[in-house]
């Protein structure tokens, strides 16, 4: 099996008015990957399906909480800024490609 690991979270930027910019991930509907899982605090947290587009976003939920959402549904909240990772299992025939056409940061 071959896996890709994509990292997301908040990027600290001094010139931005909020000081943090979210790093969001898009995993597109594709036959290039079998399954995926979102990892939060080093634990598998949420399974992703290759049969649909997956928009994984960090949002400020309230003044005190940050949330992680998949397709506009909050799946995780925490009072402090956190990072996450997405582990994607690739289809065996797709492992020799130098890029992942189903993935992008936004």
Q: Check residue 57 and give its pLDDT.
A: 93
- What sign does the CA torsion over 27, 32, 36, 40 have? negative
What global pTM score does this model have? 0.83
Q: What pLDDT digit, counting tens, does each position of 37-57 carry? A: 999 988 999 999 999 999 999
Question: Residue 30 — φ and ψ, nearest 5°?
Answer: -160, 155
Q: What pLDDT digit, counting tens, does each position of 65-103 carry? A: 889 999 999 999 999 888 899 999 988 765 566 567 888
> Does position 20 have pLDDT exceeding 80, yes or no?
no
DSSP 8-state assignment for residue 14: T
Q: Check residue 86 and give its pLDDT.
A: 94
Extract the tokens encoding 73.
Answer: 């549904």
């Amino acid at each position: 099996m071959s896996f890709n690991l994509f990292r997301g979270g908040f990027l600290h930027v001094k010139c931005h008015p909020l000081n943090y910019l979210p790093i969001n991930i898009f995993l597109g509907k594709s036959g290039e990957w079998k399954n995926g899982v979102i990892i939060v605090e080093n634990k598998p947290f949420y399974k992703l399906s290759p049969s649909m587009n997956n928009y994984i976003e960090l949002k400020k939920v309230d003044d005190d909480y940050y949330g992680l959402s998949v397709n506009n549904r909050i799946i995780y909240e925490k009072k402090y800024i956190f990072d996450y990772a997405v582990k994607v299992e690739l289809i065996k025939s797709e492992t020799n490609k130098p890029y992942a056409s189903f993935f992008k940061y936004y």
